[in-house]
Amino acid sequence: MARPRPLSGFPEWLPAGRLVEQHVLDVLRRTFELHGFASIETRAVEPLDQLLRKGETSKEVYVLRRLQESEDEASAREPEKGLGLHFDLTVPFARYVLENAGHLSFPFRRYQIQKVWRGERPQDGRFREFTQADIDVVGADTLPYHVEVELPLVIADAFAALRDVGVPPVRIMVNNRKVVEGFCRCLGLDDVEPVLRAVDKLDKIGPDAVAELLRVETGADPALASAVMELVGLSGEDESVVDAAAALARRHGADDALLDEGLAELAALIGAAARQAPGTVVADLKIARGLDYYTGSVYETVLVGHESLGSVCSGGRYDTLASDGARTFPGVGLSIGVTRLVSRLLGADLVTATRSVPSAVLVAVADEEHRAASDEVAAALRARGVPVEVAPSAARFGKQIQHADRRGIPYVWFCGEQHEVKDIRSGEQQAADPATWAPPEEDRWPRVVPGTAS
């Protein structure tokens, strides 16, 4: 077999890169669990009709077929009854909630870290297979607003816990659908959906093109389009942005209960964020999120200094995550694009690992007849939580030390009447007892640390 080439859009890491990814996942898991989120996993597949319910995403779905399934079997099955790979974790979570509602206590707090698949054209930071880490809180029939304040602060906590290994600071941009919707309705733009879709393109096509789009798509006259552009141009870290939006609304005679509710909610979110995660959360009225199911707060997150990468964590409030006819389940959720984040951390050398193998110690083997003695030392060290491997061959000791060195293993152990352990970085060698010796804590496991670019 010739040397295989990577598949575009399906990233894989070498062991050192995987250590960085594992650290990110471990920190996310710990943060989510400290905030009381329970882990679940769902199957990778969903019925096609469920995956296509929202319409817009149909182009992205990978459809499955068993190789030995006959053409007849396949065509006899209604196409929408087939299975596809999930393209996010929200659709499967909604299904999981409906399926298991009788066994869950609401509000139900869950996190979910899994691969998802989208058949899109791969680009920088955009993959066909990638890992998402989602948190959601879902209520039965009702879900109070304060959850919309809480969740972006959990995300702020998670990213803060990654700062010391070289992950850049994040800016979480928040908005509230009710503000834009209330404002537009007051001004006579009843169909808000095309407004949100146009505004969502602001970073891509610029304000003039968006204003033009507003005129073409919504029939807004230039004054109206300009008022909308003025609103979505507002941003800021404190509640003054809310005051500015209220003043703008008054100036345009917009007086609407929904708008007021949205502004009050946005103010509450910004106020809490300023206390609990100062400098992290920004109200940005252009944040629209194209998808139509958000009904309150919406969130996007950029790595400071890496804004062109796009959002590394997005989400919002949806009044109907799922419904079984009898009950409706509203939710608030955010999804971290772990693969997008990690690919940048590795690609830009922001984060790295101190070594690529777990072993802190290589136990040397004097000759194959005495391998059992080396195995015993290794077992004694492992029993006290020291990661160890035994040399693969009884080569001369110089070669065994080279074997450790190539892997970044810091210690080589020599068995004998009197055991000795050598720190191969300093060359220092000293007597040691397998029943008591341990490496310094910072050498025990590979550590994830800032890279050269941090």
Q: Is 390 helix (H, G, I), strand (E, B) or coil?
A: strand
Q: With respect to its own copies, which residue has the nearer C-beta, 279 or 392?
A: 392
Which of 88, 119, 230, 447 contacts its own copies by CB under 8 A?
A: 119
411-414 and 420-423 as β-strands: parallel, antiparallel, unpaired? Answer: antiparallel
> 268 vs 291, which CB is nearer to its own copies?
268
Instruction: Give the pair of three-digit tokens for residue 341.
Output: 């984040």
Binding characters for its own copies, 323-362, by CB under 8 A (x = yes): xxx------------------------------xxxx---
Report, in Å, the least distance between residue 53 CB and its own copies.
8
Both structure tokens of 139: 């209520």
Least distance in angstroms from the C-beta of 211 to its own copies = 32
Residue 81 sits in the site that holds its own copies (CB under 8 A):
no
429 binds its own copies (CB under 8 A): no
Give the residue with the Cβ less far from its own copies, 34 or 205: 34
Identify which of residues 127 and 183 has a Cβ nearer to its own copies in the complex.
127
List phi, psi (to 5°) of 106. Answer: -105, 150
Q: Which of 20, 28, 85, 254 lies at the binding interface for its own copies (CB under 8 A)?
A: 85
Binding to its own copies (CB under 8 A): which residues in 292-311?
A: none
Cis omega (within 30 of 0) on the bond before 107? yes
Residue 386, interface with its own copies (CB under 8 A)?
A: yes
Among 126, 197, 201, 407, binds its own copies (CB under 8 A): 407
Q: Is 65 in the site for its own copies (CB under 8 A)?
A: yes
Q: b/e map of 103-122 (b: 16 or more CB within 10 Å)? A: ebebbbbbbbbbebbbeeee
Question: Least distance from C-beta 145 to its own copies, angstroms?
Answer: 10
Q: Which is nearer to its own copies, 324 or 433 (CB)?
A: 324
Q: How far is CA 184 from the centre of its chain?
A: 32
Contact between 392 and its own copies (CB under 8 A)? yes
CA angle 220, 223, 229 (to 5 degrees): 80
Residues 6+ apart with CB under 8 A from 436: none
Tell which one of 372, 398, 427, 440 touches its own copies (CB under 8 A).
372
- 212 CB-near residues (< 8 Å, 6+ apart): none
Of the residues 171, 389, 412, 437, which one makes contact with its own copies according to CB under 8 A? 389
Exposed e or buried b per residue across 244-260, where buried means at least 16 C-beta atoms within 10 angstroms of its C-beta? bbbebbeebebebebbb
Q: Does 23 bind its own copies (CB under 8 A)?
A: no
The reply to whether 272 sits near its own copies by the rule CB under 8 A is yes
Two structure tokens written together for 414: 């020599």
Exposed, middle or buried, 428 (CB in 10 Å: 0-12/13-18/19+)?
exposed
User: Using CB under 8 A, which residues numbered 200 to 219 contact its own copies?
Assistant: none
Q: What is the DSSP string of 88-112?
A: SSHHHHHHHHHHHGGG--SSEEEEE
In the 8-state DSSP scheme, what is residue 57? T
Among 77, 141, 144, 307, binds its own copies (CB under 8 A): 144
Residues that bind its own copies (rule: CB under 8 A) add up to a total of 98
Least Å distance between CB 102 and its own copies?
A: 9
Question: What's the Rg (C-alpha) of the chain?
Answer: 27
Question: Is there binding between residue 115 and its own copies (CB under 8 A)?
Answer: yes
Q: Which of 204, 257, 369, 385 binds its own copies (CB under 8 A)?
A: 385
Does 322 engage in binding with its own copies (CB under 8 A)? yes
Q: Which of 20, 24, 28, 37: binder of its own copies (CB under 8 A)?
A: 37
* Nearer residue to its own copies within complex by CB, 15 or 219: 15
List the structure tokens of 124: 């920088």
Least separation in angstroms between residue 382's CB and its own copies is 5
3-state secondary structure 127-146: CCEEEEEEEEEECCCCCCCH
Q: Could you say whether residue 34 binds its own copies (CB under 8 A)? A: yes
Q: Which of 77, 250, 370, 382 binds its own copies (CB under 8 A)?
A: 382
Supply the minimum distance, in Å, between the C-beta of residue 432 and its own copies: 18
Under the binding rule (CB under 8 A), the answer on residue 150 touching its own copies is yes
Q: Does 122 bind its own copies (CB under 8 A)?
A: no
Q: Min. distance of Cβ 445 from its own copies in angstroms? A: 8
152: nearest Cα among 274, 273, 36: 273
Residue 29 Cα to chain centre, angstroms: 11
The b-or-e profile of 398-411 (16+ CB within 10 A means b, else e) is eebbebbeeebbbb
**120: phi then psi, degrees, rounded to nearest 5:** -85, 165
Q: Token digits for 353?
A: 């690992």
Member of 56, 69, 73, 191 binding its own copies (CB under 8 A): 69
Determine the residue type at 288.
A
Degrees, nearest 5: CA angle 390-396-398: 90
Please report whether residue 274 would count as binding its own copies according to CB under 8 A: no
- Residue 396 interacts with its own copies (CB under 8 A)? no
